[in-house]
Amino acid sequence: MWEFVNYYFIPGLVLGCIYALGAIGITLTFGILRFANFAHGEIMMSGAYLTWTVMAIAAGAGLTLHPLVAMVPAAFLVILLFLGTDKFFYKPFRKEDTIKVVMASFGMMLIIRSAVQMIWGPNQITFVRGIAKPNATLSEITSNMGLQILMPNKHLFIFAGTIVLVVALGYLLNRTRIGKAMRAVSDSPDLAHVTGINVDKVINATWIVGGICATAAGVFLVMDTQMLETTMGFRMLLPMFAAAILGGIGKPYGAVAGGLIIGLAEELSAYPWIGDAPLLSPGYKTGVAFAIMVIMLIVRPQGLFKGRSF
């Protein structure tokens, strides 16, 4: 039992949190700007690289920063990157066919990735080296209760960070004017426009929210795997889209739920449910997201939370 919780369930939840944060940005862009932003994974990856750079600069000044602290200035840069790409590469297509923007986002993906590869080089780097020890207090408390939970601090940080961001997002969407406007545009852009909502402002807000969540997702992923490399954005793209579709396009909470489900499903698929062998060879883990997505598209294209279906 403790093996299941420690080696399958908790890593699944951690991965789910990362997918969830990435999927929030995708689902918001899909809902508000009405296109699938394929550059999202690369933006996430560049956020992680920027965080690494902030940490490196601070280390050069004799300061050791935690990735979560270094993430804050990096998120600002990512937001600037998002707004810049929107202004120069997505805005010209706003009145045209959606498919042109999707293609432009593919070009963007290529540009961002090769820019990152040119600046930081193709080699793998990492935030912190060494093996993460499980949190001593937590394992002591839980072992007294009969179930020893081994959780490194980084996982606790990831959970806490995800909860904070999701709660903040909930507050933004339900309580603030701009959040309500975002939901209105997502539900019906024409109606929102008629009622006098400034669509450009809403679009900028979408990029800002997406940028913050994407940076967090990228940094959390690197904290979890201790590996920063240029293809990680592309690897995350499919599970994040699967999470957004599973939750329902345009539904941020759906994206969170979808992300958690996909993350858990990927990890649990390798658990030996029947006999001793893993149910699915771990090499095929990323295929699980695709399978869930395809099943969802056949069975219920609007997703779990009644998002938009096309």
Partner 1 sequence: MEAYVGYFLYLLSLLTVGGIYAIFALGLNVQWGFAGLFNVGIVGFAAVGAYTYALLTTAESTFHLGGFGLPLPIGMFVGMVMSAIVAAFIGLICIRLRADYLAIATIGIAEIIKLILKNETEVTNGPRGINKIPRAWEHFSEERFYSSWPMSWFGTPENWEAFFDKLPNWYWQPLFAATILLIMYIIYRMLERARTAPWGRMMTAIRENEPAARASGKNVTRRRIEAFVIGAAIMGLAGALFAQHLRLIEPTNTFDPAKVTFLTWVMLILGGSGNNRGAILGAFLIWTIWSASELVITGGIDLISNIFSTLDPSFLQTRAGFLRMMLIGILMQVILQRYPEGILPEVRPASPKAEKQDAGSMGETK
Q: Token digits for 118?
A: 């040119």
Q: Nearest approach, Cβ of 165 to partner 1 (angstroms)? A: 24
Nearer to partner 1, 272 or 282 (CB): 282
Residues 130, 146, 196, 283: which binds partner 1 (CB under 8 A)? 283
User: Binding of partner 1 at residue 262 (CB under 8 A)?
Assistant: no
User: Binding of partner 1 at residue 238 (CB under 8 A)?
Assistant: yes
All residues at 6 or more sequence positions from 64 whose CB lies less than 8 Å from its CB, including other chains: 58
Residues 268, 301, 302, 304: which binds partner 1 (CB under 8 A)? 301
Nearer to partner 1, 124 or 195 (CB): 124
CA distance 265 to 165: 23
Nearer to partner 1, 36 or 257 (CB): 36
User: Binding of partner 1 at residue 84 (CB under 8 A)?
Assistant: no
Nearer to partner 1, 218 or 233 (CB): 233
Contact 205, 12 (CB under 8 A): no
Residue 160 has a CB neighbour count (10 Å cut-off) of 12
User: Binding of partner 1 at residue 237 (CB under 8 A)?
Assistant: yes
Contact 21, 11 (CB under 8 A): no
Q: 232, 247, 235: which is closest to 293 by C-alpha?
A: 247
User: Binding of partner 1 at residue 261 (CB under 8 A)?
Assistant: no
- Near partner 1 by CB under 8 A, which window of 47-55, 132-140, 269-277, 290-298? 290-298
Cα–Cα distances (Å) from 67 to 53, 54, 64, 70, 136, in that order, read 10, 9, 9, 5, 21
Q: Nearest approach, Cβ of 112 to partner 1 (angstroms)? A: 8
User: Binding of partner 1 at residue 294 (CB under 8 A)?
Assistant: yes
User: Binding of partner 1 at residue 102 (CB under 8 A)?
Assistant: yes
# of chain residues touching partner 1 (CB under 8 A): 44
At position 258, the amino acid (one-letter code) is: G
Contact 161, 216 (CB under 8 A): yes
Q: Nearest approach, Cβ of 185 to partner 1 (angstroms)? A: 18
User: Binding of partner 1 at residue 113 (CB under 8 A)?
Assistant: yes
Contact 246, 258 (CB under 8 A): yes
User: Binding of partner 1 at residue 191 (CB under 8 A)?
Assistant: no
Write phi, then psi, for 133 (nearest 5 degrees). -85, 150
Q: Token digits for 214?
A: 């994407």
| Cα 69–Cα 29–Cα 40 angle in degrees, nearest 5 | 55
H or E element, residue 50? helix 40-60
User: Binding of partner 1 at residue 304 (CB under 8 A)?
Assistant: no
**Residues interacting with partner 1, by CB under 8 A?**
30, 35-36, 38, 89, 92-93, 98-100, 102-104, 106-111, 113-115, 117-118, 121-122, 234, 237-238, 241, 245, 281, 283-284, 286-287, 289-290, 293-294, 297-298, 301, 310
